[in-house]
A and B are shown apart, each in its own frame.
Chain A
Amino acid sequence: MFRYLVRRLLQMILVFVATTFIVYSLMYATGGDPIQALAGERPVSPTQRAQLIREYGLDQPFLVRYWNYLSGLLQGDFGKSLTGREVSDIIAQALPPTIQLAAIAIVTTIALGVTVGIIAAIRRGGWFDNATLVFTLIIIGIPIVVLAPLAQLIFTIKIPIFPTTATSGDLYALLLPGIILGALSVATAMRLTRASFTENQRSDYVRTARSKGLSKRRVVGVHVLRNSLIPIITFLGIELGALMAGAIVTEGVFNVPGVGFNLFRALRTEDAPLVVGLVSVLVIIFLVANLIVDLLYAVLDPRIRYE
């Protein structure tokens, strides 16, 4: 187990360097003019331009710039965004709301998707199964660009239960956007749970458990559930990473000052240091989430062992 962890951590370093390199070179390859982008349609004086170019090292060759960036990163220095703020400050401010939002979304997915999936699998073919199938298909069919403003209009303006925007980032305000975000993966989680559960219900060990005289509750709650969780955990792990990457649309509609919000602005203003900084953090989050998912497999299925 320990050796496996070390091996994975070493792999993660390689993946991290490779991904940051790709992102850095992509930002470099867009070849825009970040200084002009910052100024909008206004003229930038040559003096000012030269000063900024020197400050951000835009005149140096690509590999030198990447090396400087990477070595700064290893010392915990994310560099400065083009507006002069420390990228690490921006990340520190953007992460908490996004983590909260992702947590609410994941909880929604688990609470609704997994529970409903299990019930649907147990009462396969019944009215509940069919009704949820139709309902989830409808939800999955509405794109977030419609769903989010619609929910905002209904639940914050027409029937004011929730605050309209989550600018301050307090938890209650994040509830509605979190649920909306989670609703998108509810359908997938539900179908996945239902399929996996149905399959396991037919397997030999379930029959054995039943014939042994175990209560239905124990058979379903322990034997079937545990063995059905592997695909769901895989899905949720990846989903959590994706949610952390910032739901650009949801964060935009509800004005959540999170990662997606900042990433969008950084891309629009060609703020390469900020984009690369945010993406680097996201890469780490993805890697850690994946590692946790892999470790969970061993917990769920004793046949899986990591050496």
Chain B
Amino acid sequence: MHVRRLAAWVALPLSASLALSACGTGGDTGSSDGVVSIGIAEPQHLLPGNTHETSGAQVMAALYTPLIEYDENNKPYEVAAESVSTTDNKTWTIKLKSGWTFHNGEPVNADSFINSWNFTAYGPNKQDNGYFLTRVEGYADLNPTDANVTPTAKTLTGLKKVDDTTFTVTLSEPFSEFKTMLGYTAFYPLPKAAFQDPAATPLVLKPDFEQAPIGNGPFKIKGVWQHDQRIEVERYADYKGTQPKIGGVNFPIYQNTQAEYADLLANNLDVVKTIPTESLSTVQGDLGERFQQSPASSFQFLAFPTFDPRFSKPEVRKAISQAIDREEIVKAVFQNSQKAAYSFVSPVVAGYRDKTCGAACEFKPAEAKTAYEAAGGPKDINITYNADGGHKQWVDATCNQLKANLGVNCVGTPEAKFADLLQKVEDKQQVGMFRLGWIMDYPSMENYLGPLYSTTGSSNYYGYSNPQFDTLVKEGSAAATQDEAIKKYQQAEDILARDLPVLPLRFGQNNFGHSTKVKNVTIDLFQRVDLTKIEMA
């Protein structure tokens, strides 16, 4: 009897394995009927106020249409907005195109934007994109400095409804680039259906809204967000903007880019936005013409603690800069997945000029060594980096170049986390040089200058302060036209090239590839596939 019981156990797994092999249903067939598949990572959120990583932003770009988008010269033009106008850069009048509807049929009106922005800005809602509204009047009242106090104000005083399709935005001080900001996820509208009670203050979001967001974009969500698996969207028939050339998009969710790339090689997936660095050496052979590169907004640089006497002389900083062979590092360490940077402002913004850093960023080892010794540069230097970001290789390579070209001792000093690195810098501990990176929030030169180098800039960790620079950035923000603003910003950038508070090292690149089933794949400023241009091959 015992024997038979045992035999039954052995038989059970065997029959199970037979059943397994019998049910071969095949994998996903993502790209039939004009449906394109684009690989993403699991988004953190799908909400205008809370989506800030590229995966979420990609899905949001399908579901929502912003007030403005950017043309080939990276200048803004109206999409959901009829016009965005101002006379003094302080009060902006936004007029919406009429007749647009959300996916549930609700009209897109001034309230849709005002409600969305109020929700995002309200401190207790802890929205990641809240800071985009810092410039709007009344933001401070919604975000008291003592976070445990419930703010008394519930809405932004700077937002005023004029009529159904018009509203005004009053900023706390003039800012000429406000229109440029409006293309970002944070400024998308929300329908009344998003809130438990659309008339309440403060607004409360429906708990399940993020699982199936309702937007005003060219695509509407199909079903719900299937966590860790996929998000599917289909064309919204009543869309009033430019109709996309595809019937829908499937966004399969991947944990790592290697698996994503394998699916592209098997032609199961249509677009991979980031080819993994390990595969860059073989990508030409794998994809040929279907592998493409375009400039991205990220900017990697080496920063100096200018308060540290060792690095306080611009001559020392310039000599270090000239001893670094940027092209060599880009080629050897990054397999050309990034581009050497010779400017402080990314090529993706209007007003970018090549080589603004000038002679200071050119590789001149002999000259650098003489200048370094003449200026009395330190014998021992180190470069601090965060160990969790894959920076070790290039930091070590940079150090080796400095060793060879300047005859100094140089070591890379890892910090466990990026936050640890920032903490040490803020506490003015001895960190030596340190690495930082910047990804723009809105495509304007101002975004690469103000926050990073203004005396009061939110990300000025190097103690750099130049009143002339501050004035120029302020003047740019208050300039009457965008062209005038750009002129001021360019002058400010020229100051950086003289002072060198940081050394530009690399600009990011989109390294993307697509399957044989699609064509016209382009990546926009925010590292999203442009869904209005992509079409079936």
- Whether A167 lies near B28 (C-beta < 8 A) is yes
Residues of B close to A152: CB separation below 8 A: 262
Contact B266 A167 (CB under 8 A): no
A90 at the interface (CB under 8 A from B): yes
Which of A209-217, A256-264, A275-283 contacts the other chain?
A256-264
- Contact across chains for B254 and A167 when beta carbons are under 8 A apart: yes
B265: interface (CB < 8 Å): yes
Q: Decide if A190 is an interface residue (CB 8 Å cutoff).
A: no
Does any Cβ of A come within 8 Å of B258's Cβ? yes
Q: Is the CB of B45 within 8 A of A84?
A: yes
Residues of B within 8 A of A33 (CB): 417, 419
Contact B254 A255 (CB under 8 A): yes
CB neighbours (8 Å) of A117 from chain B are none
Task: Say yes or no: B418 contacts A36, CB within 8 Å.
Answer: yes
* Residue from A42, A103, A106 within 8 A of B52 (CB atoms): A42
In-complex Cβ contact of A156 among B128, B253, B266 (8 A): B266
Within the complex, what minimum Cβ distance (angstroms) separates B105 from chain A? 28
The answer to whether A48 and B255 have CB atoms under 8 Å apart is no
Q: Are A252 and B148 in contact (CB under 8 A)?
A: no
**Of B222-230, B235-243, B367-375, which binds chain A?**
B222-230
Residue pair B25, A172 in contact (C-beta under 8 Å): yes
Q: Is the CB of A164 within 8 A of B268?
A: yes
With A163-B268, A257-B228 as known contacts, state yes or no: A171 contacts B23, CB within 8 Å: yes
B366: CB under 8 A from chain A? no
Residues in A with CB closer than 8 Å to B42 are 265
Give the CA-CA distance A110 to B11 in the complex, in Å. 11
Encoded as 1 (CB less than 8 Å from any B CB) or 0, chain A from 83 to 117 comes to: 11100011001100000000110111011000000
Q: How many residues of A contact B (CB 8 A)?
A: 66
Residues of chain A with a CB closer than 8 A to B268's CB: 163-165
| B130 on the A face (CB < 8 A) | yes
Q: In the complex, are the beta carbons of A226 and B3 less than 8 A apart?
A: yes
Cβ-defined partner of A40 (8 Å) among B2, B53, B230: B53
Q: Are B27 and A168 in contact (CB under 8 A)?
A: yes
Please choose the segment from B14-22, B58-66, B333-341, B504-512 that sits at the chain A interface, where 4 or more of its residues have CB less than 8 A away.
B14-22
- A173's partner among B2, B27, B127, B130 (CB-CB below 8 A) is B27
A307 part of interface (Cβ distance < 8 Å): no
Q: How far is the CA of A110 from the CA of B21 in the complex (A)?
A: 16
Q: Which of B16, B262, B437 contacts A103 (CB 8 A)?
A: B16
Interface-located stretch among B139-147, B157-165, B319-327, B396-404: B139-147
Chain B residues with CB under 8 A of A111: 13-14, 17
A51, A226, A257: the one contacting B126 at CB < 8 Å is: A51
User: For the complex, what is the distance from the CA of A9 to the CA of B229, rounded to whole Å?
Assistant: 36
What chain A residues lie within 8 Å of B104 (beta carbons)?
none
Q: Are A255 and B259 in contact (CB under 8 A)?
A: yes
Q: Does A169 contact B (CB under 8 A)?
A: yes
Q: Is the CB of B14 within 8 A of A38?
A: no
Look across to chain B and name the residue whose beta carbon is closest to the beta carbon of A302: B2
Q: A164 contacts B263, CB within 8 Å?
A: yes
B418 touches A106 (CB 8 A): no
**B-side contacts of A149, CB under 8 Å:** 258, 262
Give Cα distance in the complex from A282 to B262, angstroms: 30
Q: Are B252 and A54 in contact (CB under 8 A)?
A: no
> How many residues of B are in contact with the other chain, CB < 8 A?
60
- Docked-complex contact B20 and A169, CB < 8 angstroms: no
Contact A172 B130, CB 8 Å, known A49-B147, A51-B123:
no
Cα of A299 to Cα of B418 in the assembled complex, Å:
55
CA distance A172 to B26 in the complex (A): 7
Cα(A39)–Cα(B51), bound, Å: 11
Bound CA span A286–B263, Å: 34
A143 within 8 A of B: no
Task: Check B262 against A169 for contact (C-beta < 8 Å).
Answer: no
Find chain A residues with CB under 8 A from B459 CB.
Answer: 43
**One of B23, B145, B230 near A172 (C-beta < 8 A):** B23
State A156–B266 Cα separation when bound (angstroms). 7
Which residue, of B3, B45, B228, has the highest number of chain A Cβ atoms within 10 A? B228
Q: Evaluate whether A94 and B228 lie within 8 angstroms (CB atoms) in the complex, with A38-B44, A43-B458, A111-B17 already known.
A: yes
Which of A83, A157, A261 interacts with B262 by CB under 8 Å? A157
Residues from chain B with a CB closer than 8 A to the CB of A64 are none
A259 and B356 alpha carbons, distance in the complex (Å): 50
Q: Given that A32-B417, A51-B126 are contacting pairs, would A106 and B45 also be in contact in the complex, using a CB cutoff of 8 Å? A: no
- B13 CB contacts on chain A under 8 angstroms: 106-107, 110-111
| CB interface residues, A 47-67, toward B, < 8 Å | 47-52, 54-55
Chain B residues contacting A168 (CB-CB under 8 Å) are: 27-28, 229-230
Contact of A265 with B52 at beta-carbon distance under 8 Å, contacts A94-B228, A107-B16, A170-B25 already known? no
Contact for A157 among B228, B256, B266, CB less than 8 A: B266
Residue of A nearest to B253 (CB): A167
The reply to whether A164 and B27 contact each other, CB–CB distance below 8 Å, is yes
Query: Within 8 Å CB of B24, what residues of A?
Result: 172
Tell yes or no: A253 within 8 A of B by CB.
Answer: yes
Q: Is A72 an interface residue (CB 8 A)?
A: no
Q: Are B253 and A83 in contact (CB under 8 A)?
A: no
Flag whether A78 is at the interface (Cβ < 8 A). no
The reply to whether the CB of B394 lies closer than 8 angstroms to some CB of chain A is no
Q: Pick the residue among B21, B145, B437 that contacts A175 (CB under 8 A).
A: B21
Contact indicator per residue, chain B 1-14, by CB within 8 Å of chain A (1) or not (0): 01101100010011
Q: Is B301 at the interface (CB under 8 A from chain A)? A: no
* C-alpha gap A257/B255 in the complex (Å): 8
Q: Which residues of A contact B127 (CB under 8 A)?
A: 48
- With contacts A164-B266, A255-B259 taken as known, whether A37 is within 8 angstroms of B417 at the C-beta atoms is yes
Q: Which residues does chain B contribute within 8 Å of A106, judged by CB atoms?
A: 13
B124 within 8 A of A: yes
Instruction: List residues of B (25-58) whose CB comes within 8 Å of A's CBs.
Output: 25-28, 42, 44-45, 52-53
CB 8 Å contact bits of A14-41 with B (1 = contact, 0 = none): 0000000000000000001100111111
Q: Which residues of B contact A76 (CB under 8 A)?
A: none
The reply to whether the CB of B195 lies closer than 8 angstroms to some CB of chain A is no
Kindly report which residue of chain A lies nearest to residue B145, judged by CB atoms.
A46
Contacts of B100 in A (CB 8 A): none
CB of A75 within 8 A of chain B?
Answer: no
Q: Which residues of A contact B (CB under 8 A)?
A: 32-33, 36-43, 45-52, 54-55, 83-85, 89-90, 93-94, 103-104, 106-108, 110-111, 149, 152-153, 156-157, 160, 163-165, 167-173, 175, 222, 226, 251-255, 257, 261-262, 264-265, 299-300, 302
**Known contacts A93-B227, A257-B253, A265-B255; 5 further A-B pairs (Cβ under 8 A):** A47-B130, A83-B45, A169-B229, A171-B23, A302-B2
A selection of 14 A-B contacts at a CB cut-off of 8 Å is A33-B417, A40-B418, A51-B147, A107-B17, A107-B20, A149-B258, A163-B26, A164-B262, A165-B263, A255-B256, A255-B259, A255-B263, A257-B253, A299-B2
Nearest 3 pairs between A and B by C-beta?
A50-B147, A163-B27, A257-B228
